[in-house]
Structure 1
Amino acid sequence: MTRIARLARRYWVVTLTLGIGLVGIVLALAGAGWLVQWLFSVYALAVAVWQGVGMVRQMAQGRFGLDILAITAIVATVLVGEYVAALLVVLMLTGGDALEDYANRRAKRELDALLTRAPQFAHLVVDGGYQEVPVDQVRVGDALLVRPSEIVPVDGVLISARGAFDQASITGESIPVEKTTGDEVLSGSVNGQEAVELRATSTAASSQYQQIVALVAQAAESKAPVVRLADRYAVPFTVFSLALGAVAWWASGDPVRFAEVLVLATPCPLLIAAPVAFIGGMSRGARNSIIVKSGGVLEQLARARTAVFDKTGTLTYGAPALSAVRPQPPFDADELLAAVASAEQYSSHVLAASFIRAAKDRGLELREAASAQEAATNGVVAEIDGREVVVGKFAFVAEHAPDAVRTAIAPGELAVYVAIGGRYAGALLASDRLRENAAATLRELSALGVTNTMMLTGDARETAEHIAAELGITNVRAECLPADKVAEVAGIAERPVIMVGDGVNDAPVLAAADVGIAMGAKGATAASESADAVILVDDIHGVARAVRIGTDTVRIALQSIWLGIVVSVVLMVIAAFGFIPATAGALIQELVDLATILAALRAIGGRLDAREATEPRAGPFAPATPSSSSG
């Protein structure tokens, strides 16, 4: 009952119109029919004037709308004495606005869910206690308490020994993630069942969740080009409707026929269908961890013909992993890897974590070093179990082991050389692995009409061509600077062009493309204003999913528009021959409006996502198709 009262207050004009109708019924039963005619007619004309003022203001801003049809229908029905039909047209007009607003609110649920969950306060650790402060007052380095089931207010690192966090709204992971001291904790994550302390590493404004919220707010306020195109249908549709009504009046000699035609000339398919569909499409994207900044992006995605990819962090994982261990006798593979991992514990190099993880995966014991020193850009030297272990570039290792020899590497690989106790001990090979579902994503894009693909990268040509060959990409540009990437995208003939990058060095080319998509799971790219869409999970399949959502949204928007137009035209033609009275026509038109809105709401995509989930497809939403890679 409370919800009904809230809706009645929100859509007070509809409530007033229904109230006027009920009063009219009471008066008619009391035998005051003449008063009903005056009540309905005066109220209908008052609404027509009110709507007319709004229409004039829109026209002054260069926007020609379809309200003129409804206003003309109200005036015409009053003049010919069809006052009941006049009130029904008022209900159609005000009810259409209310249905549009309600449908938009329904469509934006997933977008609004992110906005309403944004943390507002944080528990600051002060003098052995805790003080609640606004989240925007948190500074880097502050210690914070996060209570059970609370949302983490800012990005930080865990101080407590351990904790479990639900990161579903950030990364899409459905299972809570276990964290230990020193691990990164993203804002927007939901703490588990134990209170934990963390140290802030970002302010609220620069934290992951707030960046996502900013993108959502921007997305929620957009209007797609196809919506403006729908507005332009107003001129021919209005002219056709008025002309048909005039011909019906002229042919029959009855002015009532003009009113009967106009009450069926609904503006709702054009005014409502496209906005509702596009907001539904953005809502569907948000539910699938894809933030689309504007409805216009969905239209561009639906029409896209070319997809351009960065390599590192996009088509590959961006984190080189151990691919081979090549020991030099008398050393064996386990001994070599254990020594390297033990030494790399004291290195900040990007490969250190990969070697340590590989050693632990093999169950190898890591030793502590008596001393360790890192030589910037060259390698690390550590004393382990009384022996000097040197790990790094060939020239650096050769200084400590003159018998060192270079090892053969394939395109896309790099070698790390090792000396133990002054002797050359072998080499470890690492490569940036191709994403398992990259090839499947490209195939799906091709099926969706994005048939032209290109890879742009700053890497060496041999490495780039090796990755491209595995994926079947024939158009490759390597050793590119940011300006080179922009020039390449600008010169592509098959448009619109999608550019996909990790957002670190790709901001210029993301802005230059028709649609820039940032892989934003790692946080930095979520704030990139140069991207038109951000994929919140570390999964390239989101690109194909974004194109599919765009295609479905545009298709549903146009279907809904033409459904309403065709039905309205058919009904108007029937009314022109006098087979649909004005009152009946107004009632029928309400059903047409409702059908149009319901058709547009399909873009929210619940059934589409359910059907897609049953199809074999790569990504975290369905089993991935493995793809082997050596680099």
Structure 2
Amino acid sequence: MRRIISICKEVPLLPIAIIAAIPLALLGSWRPWEAAGVSLTFGPFNPGVGQWIVIALVVYTIVVTVIGMIDDLRHGHVGVDLLAVIAIASTVAVQEYWAAWAVVLMISSGEAIEEFAQSKAEGNLTALVDAAPRTAHVVTLPGVGARAAAAGADGTAGDAEGDMTADGFRKVASVDVPNAAETNKSTTQTKPYDAAGEHFETVPVDQVKLGDVILVLPGETVPVDGELLSGVATLDLSNINGEPVPREVYAGARVLSGAVNGSTALTMRATQLAQDSQYQKILELVSSAQESRPTVVKTADVLAVPFTILSLAIAGIAWAVAGTPLRFAQVLVLATPCPLLIAAPVAYVAGTGRLAKAGILIKAQDVLENLGRVSHIFFDKTGTLTVKQPQVVRVEKPFENSSPYDENHILMMAGVVEGYSVHILSKGIAAAGQKAMQELYARYENGQRLCAERDLPGHGRDYPVVKNIEEQSGKGVSGEVNGHAVRVGRFAYVTADEAGFTHVLGAGAAAGIAAGAVADSAVGDSATGTAAGASKKPEVNSLFAPLEPDEMAAYVAIDGKLAARIVLRDVPRENAKSSLEKLHRLGVKKLSMLTGDKEASARIIAGEVGIDDVQSELFPEGKVAAVKNATEDAHQNQPAWDKVVQRVVGESMTRQVTMMVGDGVNDAPVLAVADIGMAMTDGTSTAASESAQVVIMNDDIASVPRAIAIARRTKKVMLQAVLVGLGLAIIGMIAAAFNLIPVVVGAFMQEAIDVVSILWALTALLDRE
């Protein structure tokens, strides 16, 4: 009911036209002025009360429509409502008042249907806009956040310096504030809310300052980008990247504007202003897509002109042959350009919304059209076809295995210290260590301090005790984990020990070194001590099998002895191969990989995901040249007849499109040179949108074929809606020209044709995957 009322407000002529049917039916031929001897006859016209009401509606409708046509022409759109104006005037001219009323109803209800269809098609996009945060709860506890710092600078907040803790909160003992926990005993809110109590101020989101501490209550939207201060939070990121499963984040993690907080209140510190936050960038992309008009829709506008001429020609011939102007009216009431003017843009807006719901944002609707033409796709390797950091594939112990630790113990301790490192391999080892820690915790009784199989302290703890972390840039990281000295990094780094290699490698290896069995090593750049009587460094290949071309390794020493080598490699995404197979099924002719990696490692990944064309060892300019050449070749291969069609209607029928898919971090130049640049992100940044026309917000390579499938289905639906609508209209006009369809019936049939074509266009919203 609310939606109906809203439509009636948008199209006030609709309820008026509906109500006008009552006096037309009851008072259509009533002429009370004749009793007084007054005549309102104008030539052949002698309308009654109800018929005069219809004439007034017709005049009003014609005036409004003509004004709209003029406005359209001023904005560069073709005003093709001329058919409606002529049709409604012709029905009055032949004194078909019910037909005139039906045409007025048709025009007004057509506007209502268009309004409904546009709102339905834009539903997913509108939902993103409606979800935008508008207010924020800024914590006003003394000494907290940017506002307190500003107040302190003015001398109004006391002596804050020295009383502040590292996270920006004032020490509890240094300020006299009410005990929020006591004042909120009756509430079941969570600790962040209890801590703030009533001490927060709700302000418009654009008034949030950098450094403000913000309280986000359960179910509320995070207002700006920031850093989580409270211990743990569960965030729904579906508005950002379409991810249906909430994500759990911990203190220190980045929280994004637009995320919806779960059942626990959280506190955060603002690190971006509202206009610079993540969700605002998403809204800018959505706004850009909504305001754009694809070439195919512009072409539909142009084609509406010859359709108008054709309709007038059929109507004129029918009038000339039949010898009655009624036939002219009969034809024109069935002439509807709505499949071109409404169904086409509705389909494309629906397709854009469907992409947004899938976590795929486009800059303009022209991109949606071009996505359906993609024939050659270039992929960056690292972070696009593969996961974003190398993954642990195995743990190897030295040939002389004297280490008492199994694989999980080694990964757990190495992962703990690597969690403090910024090295490229650190995240992969840390992730493997976290998994190993969970397995160890499940194996041992909760809180058990000794392993059941070995007398090793503390490995059953949920959280290991970590001390003395130290990283040496380019070499490795060391620390103490549950009382064990752990080193992870280059071979030379982990085997460097004041006690010599006897202590590090064990007696057997040392004896081999002393006997000269171990050759000089070129691994590492740090000199090490030597065993007694030995002047040689240990060689990696004497202790481990050679690595494959695409593998990397980090070495682990525990308590001064080399324990293992952790082998990592770039690993294809789990769904990379299936996604590329789907691209082939969609008709994409060629898939290529562009990478700066060496040929051998690039070929291995390409073989695993199913790519034949590999261009390796490329600098950024080499990638740009490869894509540029392919793009130019595709354009040069366009047939001459298609170039003529493109000049006439503004749209190519056969032109092939190239697309580059990258992670958007270092791919800006090559993304910009392709016909379509597609950046895969995890929703934490839309910086790639500066150079990319498509931004995948869920970091899922399966979104690449999904985007193409949605684009092709959108165009298919649009063409079906237009062709079905125009086909039915032309068949109806021909039938009316032979007097097979009465003028009143024709007016209602035209409305039915509009409804069919528009509803057909809305099927672009449906998920057919």
C-alpha displacement of 1:421? 6.6
CA separation of 1:399 and 1:386: change in aligned 2, threshold 3 A:
farther
CA separation of 1:580 and 1:352: change in aligned 2, threshold 3 A:
same
CA separation of 1:574 and 1:339: change in aligned 2, threshold 3 A:
closer
- Give, in whole Å, the separation in 1 of the partners of 2:480 and 2:116: 70
Rg comparison, structure with higher value:
2
- 1:449 equivalent to 2:587? Answer yes
Corresponding residue number in structure 1 for 2:153: none
CA separation of 1:61 and 1:145: change in aligned 2, threshold 3 A:
closer
Corresponding residue number in structure 2 for 1:283: 353
Letter in 1 for 2:427: A
Give identity over the alignment, percent.
41
Corresponding residue number in structure 2 for 1:551: 712
Query: What per-residue deviation string (whole Å, max 9, x for no partner) do you get for residues 459-499 of structure 1?
Result: 33322222112122112222333333232222213421222
* Residue among 686, 693, 716 paired with 1:532: 693
CA separation of 1:217 and 1:103: change in aligned 2, threshold 3 A:
same
Corresponding residue number in structure 1 for 2:527: 399
- Give, in whole Å, the separation in 2 of the partners of 1:333 and 1:205: 51
C-alpha displacement of 1:286? 1.8
CA separation of 1:333 and 1:78: change in aligned 2, threshold 3 A:
same
Corresponding residue number in structure 1 for 2:471: 374
- 1:74 equivalent to 2:88? Answer yes
C-alpha displacement of 1:362? 2.6
Corresponding residue number in structure 1 for 2:100: 86
Letter in 1 for 2:90: A
* Residue among 670, 683, 686 paired with 1:509: 670
CA separation of 1:543 and 1:551: change in aligned 2, threshold 3 A:
same
8 Å CA contact 2:491, 2:540 repeated in 1: no
- 1:567 equivalent to 2:724? Answer no
Alignment of structure 1 residues 408-487 onto 2, 5 Å = 408-418=546-556, 425-487=563-625
Query: What per-residue deviation string (whole Å, max 9, x for no partner) do you get for residues 148-202 of structure 1?
Result: 2211222233222223222333344433333332233332222222222122333
- Give, in whole Å, the separation in 1 of the partners of 2:201 and 2:740: 73
C-alpha displacement of 1:24? 2.7
Alignment of structure 1 residues 165-180 onto 2, 5 Å = 165-180=235-250
Query: What per-residue deviation string (whole Å, max 9, x for no partner) do you get for residues 92-142 of structure 1?
Result: 223212211111011211111111111111122223432222222334433
Corresponding residue number in structure 1 for 2:391: 321
C-alpha displacement of 1:79? 2.4
8 Å CA contact 1:382, 1:390 repeated in 2: no
Corresponding residue number in structure 1 for 2:58: 44
Alignment of structure 1 residues 280-359 onto 2, 5 Å = 280-328=350-398, 329=400, 330-331=402-403, 334=407, 336-338=410-412, 340-359=414-433
Alignment of structure 1 residues 121-140 onto 2, 5 Å = 121-128=135-142, 129-140=199-210
CA separation of 1:522 and 1:59: change in aligned 2, threshold 3 A:
closer
C-alpha displacement of 1:523? 1.4
Letter in 2 for 1:588: M
C-alpha displacement of 1:31? 5.1
Letter in 2 for 1:108: E
C-alpha displacement of 1:320? 1.3
Letter in 2 for 1:392: R
Corresponding residue number in structure 2 for 1:362: 436
Q: Report the secondary structure of 1:588's partner residue.
A: helix
Corresponding residue number in structure 2 for 1:602: 763
Q: Report the secondary structure of 2:477's partner residue.
A: strand
8 Å CA contact 1:259, 1:582 repeated in 2: yes
- Give, in whole Å, the separation in 2 of the partners of 1:528 and 1:2: 37
Corresponding residue number in structure 2 for 1:204: 274
**How does the TM-score come out when normalised to structure 2?**
0.74
8 Å CA contact 2:26, 2:50 repeated in 1: no
What is the number of residues matched between the two proteins? 608
Letter in 2 for 1:403: P
8 Å CA contact 1:155, 1:184 repeated in 2: yes
CA separation of 1:460 and 1:22: change in aligned 2, threshold 3 A:
farther
- Give, in whole Å, the separation in 1 of the partners of 2:229 and 2:597: 38
- 1:389 equivalent to 2:517? Answer no
Corresponding residue number in structure 2 for 1:617: none
CA separation of 1:389 and 1:600: change in aligned 2, threshold 3 A:
closer
C-alpha displacement of 1:62? 4.4
CA separation of 1:390 and 1:190: change in aligned 2, threshold 3 A:
closer
C-alpha displacement of 1:36? 3.7
Letter in 2 for 1:377: G
Corresponding residue number in structure 1 for 2:749: 588
CA separation of 1:205 and 1:393: change in aligned 2, threshold 3 A:
farther
- Give, in whole Å, the separation in 2 of the partners of 1:94 and 1:572: 21
- 1:24 equivalent to 2:24? Answer yes
Letter in 1 for 2:377: A
Gaps in structure 1 of 5+ consecutive residues = 613-631
8 Å CA contact 1:519, 1:525 repeated in 2: no
- Give, in whole Å, the separation in 2 of the partners of 1:240 and 1:345: 72
Query: What per-residue deviation string (whole Å, max 9, x for no partner) do you get for residues 507-527 of structure 1?
Result: 222222222222122412366
Q: Which moved more, 1:133-142 or 1:426-435?
A: 133-142
8 Å CA contact 1:69, 1:265 repeated in 2: yes
- Give, in whole Å, the separation in 2 of the partners of 1:484 and 1:17: 66
8 Å CA contact 2:30, 2:50 repeated in 1: no
CA separation of 1:48 and 1:369: change in aligned 2, threshold 3 A:
closer
Letter in 2 for 1:56: I
Q: Which moved more, 1:67-76 or 1:485-494?
A: 485-494
8 Å CA contact 1:390, 1:400 repeated in 2: no
* Residue among 493, 496, 520 paired with 2:657: 496
CA separation of 1:583 and 1:486: change in aligned 2, threshold 3 A:
same
CA separation of 1:421 and 1:399: change in aligned 2, threshold 3 A:
farther
Corresponding residue number in structure 2 for 1:6: 6
**How does the TM-score come out when normalised to structure 1?**
0.89
Query: What per-residue deviation string (whole Å, max 9, x for no partner) do you get for residues 62-89 of structure 1?
Result: 4334212112212222223223322322
CA separation of 1:393 and 1:108: change in aligned 2, threshold 3 A:
farther
8 Å CA contact 1:518, 1:526 repeated in 2: no
Q: Which moved more, 1:64-73 or 1:344-353?
A: 344-353
CA separation of 1:413 and 1:86: change in aligned 2, threshold 3 A:
same
- Give, in whole Å, the separation in 2 of the partners of 1:545 and 1:65: 36
8 Å CA contact 1:264, 1:585 repeated in 2: yes
Corresponding residue number in structure 2 for 1:227: 297
